[in-house]
Chains A and B, each alone.
Chain A
Amino acid sequence: MTAGPDDATTVGPDGEVAGGPGDDAADRRRHVSDYFRLERWELPAPEGDGPASMAGRAPVDAHQRGPGGGLRTGGLLTSLDSLGGFTSGLAVLPQWIVTTSLMATVSELSHVGPLGLRADVLRRGRNSVVTSLDVVDEGAGGRHVAAATLTCAVLDPDAMTLEFERPFALAMPESQVDPVRPEAFFCIESGEGPVTRLRLEDQLRNPWGILHGGAVAMLADEAACRATVAAVPGAGHGVAATDVVLHYLRPVKVGPVEARCSVLGTRAGRTSVRVAIHDVGADDRLVTLGSVTVLAV
């Protein structure tokens, strides 16, 4: 899906394409991977040919903080998907990957920043790659923030050639001159209740033309929080997503995208929300299913 030096195209760490035909569109795509300003670098393999590992660092910019005081969980998941997906891809070169599931538990909602991320491939199979992810708050003495497991399916890159300078490194993107809130950036329509809608703008697509997995995670976060506020008496508006399980079942190609939530129950201050995400414009097919645990903060 991406190109090597013989093509007039290069590929970025989330697969964004730049430098070739259609470069204007590519620049817009870059926004998704850069929005949370994730710096990334490859770690040396312990024995020369071991599984891939990467580290990352991301600031916690003021406009990206949620009710918990730290980076919104949807934003955290976007960075986990970006780092874990790229690490998984490096492990299967010259093939590439697509994320199929993400399981994350967030232990700390309040962050000082910057956040330090680490991704390690646990298993590299013929059809799938499993990668563990850890997040700590470097600004809070390395306090633990989140742990996650990302599973990716291995893809045949078809006619494309994937080539990266190794060890791979990407500097932290510049801060935004005119920052926008995550809900606005991810084109999540305002509203309340159990259904939340996202407009599938071009800036949210990856080079495959499908909705970025981080955008799906952000939609799940926002939708589950809105559903909790609407359904749980006394929840108020101070709620935040913590534990998340997402199964990416099918690519989102058309849009708009709708997250339909069912509140399963509330126990000890934590509300469990089932989130079913549909591509309305593609025969309303189910594209992602998961659960989000929402905590009153």
Chain B
Amino acid sequence: MAFAGYPPPEHLLGDLGMEAELTTETTARVRTRVTPQVLSADGGVRAGVLATLVDIVGGAIAARVLRPDWMATADLSIELVGPPVGPWVEARGSVLRRGRTTLVIEALVVAVDEDGDDVAVDGRAPDPVAWASMTFAVLPATNADSPVQLAADLPMRWAFRGGDLELPIMDALPVTVLDAPAGRVSVPVRPYLHNSFGAVQGGVIALIAEAAGAEALGAAQGRHGADMVVTDLQIAYLALGKVGPIVTSARVLATGPDGRAGAVVELRDGGADDRLTTVVNVTAAPADVTTRAVP
């Protein structure tokens, strides 16, 4: 399904097969099937994919709550609590505060089965696999950039349908690694990755930051980026990335004794005077650390 032509027939959201439902006036849930193409090295769903899921559930709620106004994601944080393994993962969002200029939303991500029921663990409801929060900036309907027709068309339930992802998601974007120790990766801006403003979608930004952070943090430990598992993303969206390519740089902060480490990743629009579009705090650890049973 598409609203006013968004997303186009060939789009990442369609290839992820996301299914959404507005459950009340201020809550929604969005789920996606767990496939090998969206997994990280520890067998869990990538943080960037979960961030995409969360961004969509937040956007769905915001579109309903704010209509006829529209919104843009201002910040998004996601923290992986356990390995998200599916068979589906579902983000459940709710409104925390609706202000004049911002809307704040919380989301929990849980593993669900084909029927949308929680996947029980030892007969009890499972813990969430991730916690997320986001702030949306309210864009008044009088703003020429506000695609208000999307909100007017919003049904209670819909699904984005496309082809299945045939490649690992980082290859589907595609992410090109330019300089791993510096966290320099590049991604072209194309309609497949667009949001409703014709810029790179917020979840895709999270995926790019995940790739850049993993490359830099892996290189700092003599590992491949693909061996690192990103567990936390704290994203501040500053400007739209419309021209491309989106090019990143990363600053490694410190590495703990177990290999867990943090980096600050900056994303710039290479075709728009290298304008800074996003700053992301990324935390990652080697896969053998994130899969370790503790405490």
**Same complex origin of A and B:** yes
Residues of A within 8 A of B (CB): 100-101, 103-105, 107-108, 122-123, 127-128, 130, 132, 143-144, 147-149, 151, 153, 232-235, 243, 245, 247, 249-250, 264-272, 274, 286, 289-291, 293, 296
Given A151-B75, A269-B258: A247 in contact with B295 (beta carbons within 8 A): no
- Of residues 261 through 295 on chain B, the ones whose CB sits less than 8 Å from some CB of chain A are 261-262, 264, 276, 279, 281, 283, 285, 289-290, 292, 294-295
Query: Which residues of the other chain, A, contact B131 by a CB distance below 8 angstroms?
Result: 264, 272, 274, 291
Note all chain A residues with C-beta closer than 8 A to B82.
265, 267
B254 on interface, CB distance cutoff 8 Å: yes
Shortest distance in angstroms between B154's beta carbon and chain A's nearest beta carbon? 25
Digitize B66-82: 1 where CB-to-A-CB distance is under 8 Å, 0 elsewhere: 00000000110101111
Given A265-B82, A267-B290, A105 and B236 contact (CB-CB distance below 8 Å)? no
Q: How far is the CA of A274 from the CA of B107 in the complex (A)?
A: 11
Contact B80–A267 (Cβ < 8 Å): yes
Q: Is B232 among interface residues, defined by CB-CB distance under 8 A?
A: yes
Classify the secondary structure of A's interface with B: strand
A268 contacts B292, C-beta separation under 8 Å:
yes
Please judge, given known A-B contacts A233-B295, A266-B294, whether A247 and B238 are in contact too, CB under 8 Å: no
- The B contact surface, by secondary structure, is strand
Per the bound structure, the CA–CA distance linking A275 and B102 in Å amounts to 21
Best-buried of B82, B239, B254, B289 by chain A (most CB within 10 Å): B254
* Contacts across chains A and B counted by CB atoms under 8 Å: 128
B142 at the binding interface (Cβ < 8 Å): no
Q: Return B8 CB to nearest CB of chain A, in Å.
A: 29
- Are A268 and B294 neighbours in the complex by a CB distance under 8 Å? yes
Q: Is B104's beta carbon under 8 Å from chain A? A: yes
In the complex, given contacts A107-B262, A245-B133, A250-B97, what are 14 additional A-B residue pairs having Cβ atoms less than 8 angstroms apart?
A: A107-B253, A108-B254, A122-B279, A128-B102, A132-B264, A147-B253, A147-B281, A243-B232, A247-B97, A266-B295, A269-B294, A270-B260, A272-B81, A289-B104
Are B75 and A149 in contact (CB-based, < 8 A)?
A: yes
For A154, the closest partner residue in chain B by CB is B101
Check B234 for interface membership: any CB of A closer than 8 A: yes
Which residues of the partner chain A approach B290 to less than 8 Å between Cβ atoms? 267-268
List B contacts of A267 (CB < 8 A): 80-83, 231, 290, 294
Contacts of A272 on B, CB cut-off 8 Å?
Answer: 79, 81, 131
Q: How far is the CB of A91 from chain B (nearest CB, A)?
A: 14
Identify which of B97, B234, B254 contacts A144 (C-beta below 8 A): B254
Task: List the B side residues contacting A250 at CB < 8 Å.
Answer: 97
